[in-house]
Amino acid sequence: MSIKQGDIYLAKCRSGKASHIIRGYRPVVIVRVIDNSTILHAIPLTTNPKKRIDRLHIRIEGHGLAQPSIALIEQVRPIDKGLLGKRIGTIAETEEMNHIVQCLVCYFDPRVA
């Protein structure tokens, strides 16, 4: 399986019982794949209409998704490749992916913002 940045997969997102951490089987956008590692980094997507679009929430439509979705930048997480399910589509080389990468840079280094 060749996994690339920008690919959208269904994945099992595990977390504790914290109510605001996304969990369950859901779409994720792959943001970092390291060769020879069983771990990758992904951003979970939600279809929750109550999530407002802001600098940490990016709207994604189409690309194989059944519904318009919102990428939750603040919930970027490591995921074992074994927890990936079906590949849905990709946003590689799109404006949405470029926006996600820019938001991640600002999220992890606020001096950039």
Summarised one tens digit per residue, pLDDT across range 47-85 is: 987 777 777 899 999 999 999 999 999 999 999 999 999
Question: What pLDDT was estimated at residue 18?
Answer: 61
User: Is residue 7 a contact partner of residue 90, using CB atoms and an 8 Å limit?
Assistant: yes
What CA–CA distance (Å, rounded) separates 43 from 35? 19
Question: What pLDDT was estimated at residue 112?
Answer: 65
Amino acid at 6: G
Question: What pLDDT was estimated at residue 111?
Answer: 77
Average pLDDT over residues 22-48: 90
| Structure tokens that stand for 94 in this block | 């799109």
Three-class SS state of 112: helix
Domains in the chain, ordered, with CATH?
7-112 (2.30.30.110)
Q: Which residues pair with 28 in a beta bridge?
A: 9, 44
Question: What pLDDT was estimated at residue 70?
Answer: 94
Q: Which residues pair with 42 in a beta bridge?
A: 30, 77
